[in-house]
């Protein structure tokens, strides 16, 4: 498919309880690259193979969780058009000035019915990945520092009115439904997986009574062996693991779920199939939801269902 419009998840801002402890975790355990700090006290990171200046921001707060998620669009013209389309759809938007976030252009911010703050932006400084654009090497030995994910991949959000969020993302921003878990009575969905690319998902939602909750932010690794290596590093560094290494039925990805020092869940993820918008969405029923989420164990654990920030 032609990659136009909304391209991919570009950044998340996460609240942490102890900034210095979290800087050490994200830099040395997860293995992200610190790229800056700003006057607001935010610390900026990116994955080693990302070229844009940042994808993860952390700030100290009294409670853990997600401040906002930003998706990159293909041009300023697209940003302006999508802002107008959102307003026509009845969604209130706000313009965040350029450089309010380091090395990032203007952002269009709005609130999804699930209670999550969503942003669109077109411009972010390309600081590279340590490789030239001409005749690069296949990989960078320094990238093996920590778990060393390739990039920010997706996130899962918990909140109410997921069907209303789905409508905005599909009708206005061009996302499409890839997989869903249908409620037992058939009245709607418990969970939805949406893509704006050829990935199995770029964002997912689970129906939950409290708005604006984060289940996890996911980081891409490039092989099952790297997922297993991540498990070793988590054990060496005494990281609290929720579940894994294991495999999903939904999306077919291999995974570990674990927690940062503040209790924010993160995922190290690999695999998943390629998806296209002309494909028919895959439906899972509640009777087989355990196998859908954890394909090997075929059951859900309590913390995976209930712990959110």
Q: Say if residue 160 is in the same domain as residue 302.
A: yes
Q: Say if residue 10 is in the same domain as residue 115.
A: yes
3-state percent helix, strand, coil for the chain, nearest multiple of 5? 20, 35, 40
The reply to whether 143 falls in a domain is no
**CA 282 – CA 251 distance, rounded (Å):** 10
Q: What pTM was estimated for this model as a whole? A: 0.94
Cβ atoms 266, 255 nearer than 8 A: no
Cβ atoms 243, 253 nearer than 8 A: no
**CA 272 – CA 120 distance, rounded (Å):** 25
The reply to whether 71 falls in a domain is yes
The reply to whether 135 falls in a domain is no
Cβ atoms 6, 120 nearer than 8 A: yes
Sign of CA dihedral 259, 260, 262, 266: negative
Residue 266: predicted pLDDT = 96
Choosing from 61, 91, 125, the residue where a domain stops is: 125
Q: How many domains, the chain?
A: 2
Question: E strand or H helix at 293, and its extent?
Answer: helix 289-293
Residue 290: predicted pLDDT = 61
**CA 140 – CA 197 distance, rounded (Å):** 26
**CA 122 – CA 75 distance, rounded (Å):** 5
Residue 185: predicted pLDDT = 82
Which residues of the chain fall below pLDDT 70? Answer: 1-2, 249, 286-300, 302-303, 305
Q: Return the bridge partners of 282, or none.
A: 179
Q: Say if residue 95 is in the same domain as residue 213.
A: no
Q: Say if residue 201 is in the same domain as residue 80.
A: no
Cβ atoms 182, 283 nearer than 8 A: yes
**Active site positions, annotated:** 154, 201, 216, 248, 257, 267
Q: What is the pLDDT of residues 91-143, one digit of tens each?
A: 999 999 999 999 999 999 999 999 999 999 999 999 999 899 999 988 888 77
**CA 294 – CA 289 distance, rounded (Å):** 8
Q: Say if residue 269 is in the same domain as residue 190.
A: yes
Q: Say if residue 106 is in the same domain as residue 72.
A: yes
Choosing from 107, 125, 143, the residue where a domain stops is: 125
Q: Say if residue 99 is in the same domain as residue 176.
A: no
Q: Say if residue 50 is in the same domain as residue 174.
A: no
Cβ atoms 308, 192 nearer than 8 A: no
The reply to whether 262 falls in a domain is yes
Strand, coil or helix: 261: coil
Q: Return the bridge partners of 118, or none.
A: 69, 110
* Structural domain span for residue 203: 151-306
**CA 303 – CA 265 distance, rounded (Å):** 11
Q: Say if residue 168 is in the same domain as residue 81.
A: no
CATH number at residue 94: 3.10.180.10
Q: Say if residue 293 is in the same domain as residue 200.
A: yes
Count Cβ atoms below 10 Å from residue 246 Cβ, excluding itself.
16
The reply to whether 136 falls in a domain is no
Burial class of 134 by CB neighbour count within 10 A (0 to 12, 13 to 18, 19+):
exposed
């Amino acid at each position: 498919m032609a990659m136009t419009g909304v391209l991919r998840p570009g950044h998340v801002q996460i609240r942490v309880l102890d900034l210095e402890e979290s800087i050490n975790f994200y830099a040395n355990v997860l293995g992200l690259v610190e790229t800056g700090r700003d006057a607001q006290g935010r610390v900026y990171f990116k994955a080693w193979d990302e070229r844009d200046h940042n994808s993860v921001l952390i700030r100290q707060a009294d409670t853990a969780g997600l401040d906002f998620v930003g998706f990159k669009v293909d041009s300023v013209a697209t940003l302006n058009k999508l802002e107008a389309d959102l307003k026509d759809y009845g969604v209130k938007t706000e313009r965040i000035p350029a450089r309010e976030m380091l090395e990032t252009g203007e952002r269009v911010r709005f609130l999804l019915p699930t209670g999550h703050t969503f942003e669109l932006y077109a411009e972010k400084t390309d600081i590279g990945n340590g490789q030239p654009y001409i005749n690069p090497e296949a990989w960078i030995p320094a990238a093996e520092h920590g778990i060393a994910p390739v990039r920010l991949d997706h996130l899962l959000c918990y909140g109410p009115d997921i069907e209303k969020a789905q409508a905005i993302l599909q009708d206005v921003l061009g996302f499409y439904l890839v997989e869903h878990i249908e409620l037992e009575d058939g009245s709607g969905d418990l969970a939805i997986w949406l893509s704006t690319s050829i990935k199995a998902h770029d964002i997912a939602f689970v129906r939950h009574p409290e708005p604006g909750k984060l289940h996890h932010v996911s980081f891409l690794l490039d092989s099952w062996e790297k997922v297993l290596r991540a498990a070793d590093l988590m054990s060496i560094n005494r990281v609290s693991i929720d579940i894994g290494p294991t495999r999903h039925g939904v999306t077919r990805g291999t995974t570990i779920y674990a927690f940062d020092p503040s209790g924010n869940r993160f995922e190290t993820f690999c695999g998943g199939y390629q998806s296209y918008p002309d494909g028919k969405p895959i439906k899972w029923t509640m009777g087989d939801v355990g196998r859908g989420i954890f394909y090997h164990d075929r059951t859900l654990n309590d913390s995976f269902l209930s712990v959110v920030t």
